[in-house]
A and B are shown apart, each in its own frame.
Chain A
């Protein structure tokens, strides 16, 4: 019983620098790093000390308050440093990787003979669990809860996103094994949602044991949040788990080979990248080698993830745990004279969801956008603009206001349980008043986590 969903609302931000479909094996990174900040709300408890040897799949730390959730090392090497910030908070765990990496030597695990509980325990023990995220709250799933469904999106619609059909081509077996394992974790269904705009790769199209849905529309059609809302929405007290398609393959690989092989194909994208293309690398890899000689201009912003939801990183920063791409765009820290490039200019270089710039007449032109706010923060004035890019039956501005005012009843009633900050990324993009909406929603979710969960 598959579902087809058509979205009328949304926005595809057309940027220059989409990756060519060429895949290169990146060099083994000198260091990899795990950042606890990638797992919102998690406090790590270290199980290894600086200087100790680690093998791939060894548990490096666990969640202090939910100690069954463990985090594994993606490489063989030495624990180089535990970087601490204010109040000795662990900000980053750096592992220096051996020059050659081997992922052999595991014994395959027959997932078909395991029960759901056993699969769960295997995944927890192997450090695979952090790949599973839950709604509400958009955090690493709590293994104690029973999800009513599991959602995997077969495509990413965000700007310059990697093409999953290309990335997972030929990995159908691993992907299917991952889906099989996940199917045992829920009494409900595993939903795999395809892009209705283009034919899907065999890995997705021929997936078994899942409900295959199709969604047609602009971004955020590829976000799991949108898909959940239109296929099987979350109500208070219910849980839905979500996974990134590449991570399903990593889980499948673990069951097929018995080792934690956190290899991921990422897209190196953005207007400031010479010859954007795909790289195969490891989660948490230092991106310095990948970026070496690729950046065409000075003064750029390097983002792990996409331009809407990613994190700013340094030139020798690390690929985020959940990220499938690196984006490099120009930094916008220049004054812009109002008649030429500024607020009253003709605006041929501006991309806007409003029709206030002549570029709205073109539906093809691609843009080189920088990180300038293009204005200053104001109170909410313009109404209705958020609705245009928000394909949910939820009132976005009212929900954001409820989040800003810590109005718990309001947030519950207006549908915060279905929401993740990434669902509001486009709202944040189009907001005339330049309010940091994703951050406000995250703060709202934190209040809900504290008071209602």
Chain B
């Protein structure tokens, strides 16, 4: 690597203070520190420092997301083919490489847009502030595509990323200062700004909206002829399991005359359509990275073994969700009867617990606070999911809400610690 070092040494004066390209120093520094851990030595205090730095921490999180990403790509490819053919019974393992390619064609552009827009904005802020790029967005940039529905237009992802980076993070001061999780901020932005592209039944399969559009156009042009596509897609829903579940609760279902009072029947119908195994493995429609609980748990194992993710948060989040599932079961009712285990493997629950709630900046920061934060977050996620059918995905809102509440939780944990010390004074 000597020749690279020589290049660095040659470039250094140009970018350092007084050099010709001084203005670009933050950008230069960002790339150089990516290639080399810099020469900086300890000046004050401890003469040796731990080998770990933020870059290594962040890259570990990205590595932990890879299983979910790869599975998400395949799943996206699978449902793109399902949407094109209308054949819901398409064998999951068939046409493996075609599905990989089709999925990559959808997911890779999303990743490129997310990183491109996000890092571009980050560089502008880094230059304004005169510091090299901070690593936080490396993780956010990967999370954003994973929480998007497959059919989301690229420009929306760009707008949402820009919103999340600027409003969610940079106005607070950048990495380490944000109040809300950046990736969830982008998703929430799209969810409320462009609800038709972010929720409902048609967005979860890449190409479905387009294909339905084609069918509609064909119908309008010539109502007599029924195309093959139209035949295939007739009565095709494309909904996620949670969307299906939510429909149990809506008046629509009642109007259609479905027997929702027989909650057990509805549940039976649901569980036969989405087996626990399929839901756990991820053979269901949903946001790109969220479907496979298995892939997410592999990521969780990486985070926990390396110690990057907080076991307190992940475990208590799952515990909170399960607990709320049990409570709702006890209450009983159409949607409330869903077995608690289902809640943990459906939708974004596992993904949120492992990758979103554990964001150390926006989560609670004290050890006890993390347990409370996780527990309440998990309970809230299931509560919103079940009791408010307008938001079948409660996890995003629950985590954002807990992000806002985290400082209050910490405040009381700290106050308890202070109180303990004050008590000591009175005893003496």
**Across the interface, which residues of B come within 8 angstroms of A332, CB to CB?**
39, 41
Report which of B37, B176, B420 forms a contact with A342, defined as CB distance below 8 A.
B37
B418 x A338 contact (CB < 8 A): no
User: A351–B48 Cα gap in the complex (Å)?
Assistant: 10
User: A331–B1 Cα gap in the complex (Å)?
Assistant: 20
Closest residue to A389 on the B side, CB-wise? Answer: B50
B421 x A432 contact (CB < 8 A): no
B361 x A355 contact (CB < 8 A): no
Number of interface residues of A (CB under 8 A): 74
**Across the interface, which residues of A come within 8 angstroms of B57, CB to CB?**
354, 356, 381-382, 432
Taking each of B46, B135, B136, B417, which has the highest tally of chain A beta carbons within 10 Å of its own beta carbon? B46
**Across the interface, which residues of A come within 8 angstroms of B1, CB to CB?**
337, 340
B44 x A381 contact (CB < 8 A): no
Stretch in contact with the other chain, from A19-27, A200-208, A366-374: A366-374
Q: How near does chain B come to A381, taking the closest CB pair, in angstroms?
A: 5
User: A353–B308 Cα gap in the complex (Å)?
Assistant: 12
A341 x B37 contact (CB < 8 A): yes
Whether, in the assembled complex, A262 has its beta carbon less than 8 Å from a beta carbon of chain B, the answer is no
A429 x B48 contact (CB < 8 A): yes
Whether, in the assembled complex, A357 has its beta carbon less than 8 Å from a beta carbon of chain B, the answer is yes
Whether, in the assembled complex, A414 has its beta carbon less than 8 Å from a beta carbon of chain B, the answer is yes
**With A350-B51, A376-B132, A438-B44 in contact, do A343 and B56 touch (Cβ < 8 Å)?**
yes
User: A382–B132 Cα gap in the complex (Å)?
Assistant: 19
B44 x A342 contact (CB < 8 A): no
B45 x A425 contact (CB < 8 A): yes
User: A139–B94 Cα gap in the complex (Å)?
Assistant: 74
A335 x B36 contact (CB < 8 A): yes
**Across the interface, which residues of A come within 8 angstroms of B60, CB to CB?**
356
Chain B contact surface mostly: loop
B366 x A395 contact (CB < 8 A): yes
User: A335–B363 Cα gap in the complex (Å)?
Assistant: 34
Report which of A329, A333, A398, A433 forms a contact with B176, defined as CB distance below 8 A.
A433
A356 x B56 contact (CB < 8 A): yes
Whether, in the assembled complex, A312 has its beta carbon less than 8 Å from a beta carbon of chain B, the answer is yes
Q: How near does chain B come to A133, taking the closest CB pair, in angstroms?
A: 18
**Across the interface, which residues of A come within 8 angstroms of B128, CB to CB?**
none
Q: How near does chain B come to A427, taking the closest CB pair, in angstroms?
A: 9
User: A336–B54 Cα gap in the complex (Å)?
Assistant: 16
A379 x B36 contact (CB < 8 A): no
Give me the 3 closest cross-chain CB pairs, A-B, nearest first: A375-B53, A379-B176, A350-B51
Chain B residues within CB distance 8 Å of chain A: 1, 4-5, 8, 33-57, 59-60, 132, 134-136, 173-177, 305-308, 310, 360-361, 363, 365-367, 370, 414, 417-418, 420-421, 424-425, 428
Chain A residues within CB distance 8 Å of chain B: 13, 15, 159, 233, 235-236, 301, 303, 307-310, 312, 327, 329, 331-338, 340-344, 347, 350-357, 369-376, 378-384, 387, 393-395, 397-398, 413-415, 421, 425, 428-434, 436-439
